Amino acid sequence: MPSLMTKETLNGIDVPTLEAVAETVKNNPAQGTVAFRVKTEWKGQTKSVSTVSGYMLGGKTLSRHFEIPADEPHELLGENTAPNPQELLMAALNACMSVGYAASAAAMGIVLENLEIETEGQLDLRGFLGLDPTIKPGYETVRYTVRIRSSAPLEKLETLHRAVMKTSPNFSNFATAIRMIPNLIIDNA
């Protein structure tokens, strides 16, 4: 396993670069505007593939390419070829918080020896299937457990935890309402 700490890095994070990015955004907030876009194409049955082809940072478009498959398990009418959308949603939450822990810990001088986040939620299919309009199709509650191994003092790790909950974009996305703006385009072939 590669070392996660050198003179200039902590937890694999380039601390001087992190500090420089924070200073740039502090002095020029427009440089901190990030926009992401994902295009998803249905592939039949319960399968889909989402494509990431780039993002915008500080007004610049930056290219990249990733494909993210999704499917449902057999019991939910899928072929079980990939994680389902709920699992991908939780993975996105966990990954975002992991970045927050690694970067915030580095900025605070905390060495992380290990970090794991486990998330779980329960849905009522009566909401999704439209069988009961009083039942929410999404989660009422999501529980997550963060396991950290570090020699840092307990108080410092608790401060880190609060900082991540305060600054993680996906924690915020889960914890607060997001205004959704729909746009439907009908293509009559």
Taking only the tens place, the pLDDT of each residue in 47-68 is 999 999 999 999 999 999 999 9
The count of structural domains within the chain is: 2
Confidence at residue 1, expressed as pLDDT on a 0 to 100 scale: 40
119 belongs to a structural domain: yes
> For the whole model, what pTM was predicted?
0.91
Question: What pLDDT sits at residue 189?
Answer: 74
| Residue 189 CB coordination number (10 Å) | 2
pLDDT at residue 6, rounded to an integer? 57
Are 148 and 70 in contact by the 8 Å Cβ rule? The answer is no
- Pairing mode, strands 142-149 and 114-121: antiparallel
What φ, ψ does residue 166 adopt, rounded to 5°?
-80, -30
Please check whether residue 189 lies inside any domain of the structure. Answer: no
Q: List the beta bridge partners of residue 36.
A: 55
Residues with Cβ within 8 Å of residue 36, at least 6 apart in sequence: 52, 55
In 3D space, the residue among 149, 79, 155, 91 whose CA is nearest the CA of residue 115 turns out to be 149
Block mean pLDDT (10 aa), the chain, length 189: 64 93 93 95 98 95 97 97 98 98 96 97 96 96 97 98 97 95 91
How many residues are given for the chain?
189
Angle (nearest 5°) at CA 148 between 18 and 162? 60
CATH number, residue 103:
3.30.300.20
Query: With contact defined as beta carbons under 8 Å apart, do 74 and 46 qualify?
Result: no
Tell me which residue range forms the domain holding 119.
Answer: 9-30+83-175
Separation of alpha carbons 104 and 167, rounded Å: 9
pLDDT digits (tens, 9 = 90+) for 75-100: 999 999 999 999 999 999 999 999 99
Do the domain assignments include residue 183? no
Average pLDDT over the chain, rounded to an integer? 94
- Residue 90 within a domain: yes
